[in-house]
Amino acid sequence: MQRFSDRYGRDVLSASPHPKRPKSVETPAEPGLVVEDVETGFCGAVVECDKHGVTLEDRHGKRRAFPLGPGFWIDGKPVALVRPRTSAPAAPTRTASGSRPVQKLRARTARESRVYVEGKHDAELVEKIWGHDLRVEGVVVEELGGADDLEEIIREFEPGPGRRLGVLLDHMVDGSKEARIAERATAGVGTDHVLIIGHPYVDVWQAVRPSVLGIDRWPDVPRGVPWKEGVLTALGWKVQPYEAWRRILGSVSTYTDLEPAFLGRVEELIDFVTAPGTS
């Protein structure tokens, strides 16, 4: 929940000179409810509500936090937002990746096929969104620890029929080091049992939509400056990279919080290693 200021109080109707002013109707701040803040004119849908206040997101993805209570309009009528009543949690109808959950899931023996990602942050993001799907399919995600040793890793894995390897690389664009590594790594093994693809982002942090973090865009980092450190400086986040990642990952709850270019690559790899005949 973002912090908010409340310098002048929230009941903006209380100063009205009209004795018969309309009374604010208490309304639960349910997710998706569209309201307008009278004082600032900010209009958006409820995306979060707790004891501290309510967060609204406008149609451009910008988010602002406000205190609960009076001071809002719905269809031109004054309302006082209150916390929704809690009820027993319903079983989810969709997983974080958007697929239908498999109820009473039993552990499945892991496939010989694997998905490799570059580092810990990549693996944690994939697990958070696709973890349920991967357990259903029996797919294990492992860390490369960097792409430089990819050729040797592929040789040691010994891909073949029923033993596919999918690899996701950061910043794999035309002419990049990662693109050259992928070309060399598949030269001797072909592409029937190995699929190396990548997303265009310098780091997996960029796969998270900026609006989820309350920023307009990911900063540009000058050449020669370590990317993560440059981002933290530009954003004014006075934390260590691992602390920043905890904040970023904690802001992600569903596939809609991620960029399509990243979503598509992960889905492609899962499809590749789970194709019929690869069990």
> Are 183 and 177 spatial neighbours (Cβ–Cβ below 8 Å)?
no
Res 4: pLDDT: 52
Classify residue 31: in a domain, yes or no: yes
- β 165-169/194-198 pair status: parallel
Q: Are residues 257 and 123 in the same domain?
A: yes
- Rounded CA-CA distance 22/32 in Å is 25
Res 5: pLDDT: 47
Q: Are residues 144 and 187 in the same domain?
A: yes
- Domain with 22, as residue range(s), is 1-87
pTM over 0.85: no
Residue type, 158: E
Classify residue 236: in a domain, yes or no: no
CATH number of the domain bearing residue 180: 3.40.50
Per-residue pLDDT of the chain (279 residues; tens, 9 = 90+): 555 544 344 454 444 455 556 788 999 999 889 999 999 999 999 999 988 799 999 888 889 999 999 999 998 899 999 998 875 555 566 777 676 766 655 656 678 899 999 889 999 999 999 988 888 888 899 998 878 888 888 888 888 888 899 999 988 888 788 888 888 887 767 678 899 999 999 999 999 999 999 999 999 999 899 999 999 999 999 999 999 999 999 999 999 999 999 999 999 999 999 887 665
Give how many domains the chain has, as a whole number.
Answer: 2
Res 277: pLDDT: 62
DSSP code for 228: H
Res 173: pLDDT: 82
Classify residue 198: in a domain, yes or no: yes
Classify residue 99: in a domain, yes or no: no
Q: Are residues 264 and 200 in the same domain?
A: yes
Q: Are residues 155 and 267 in the same domain?
A: yes
Classify residue 35: in a domain, yes or no: yes
Classify residue 18: in a domain, yes or no: yes
Classify residue 8: in a domain, yes or no: yes
Q: Are residues 82 and 185 in the same domain?
A: no
- Rounded CA-CA distance 56/71 in Å is 14
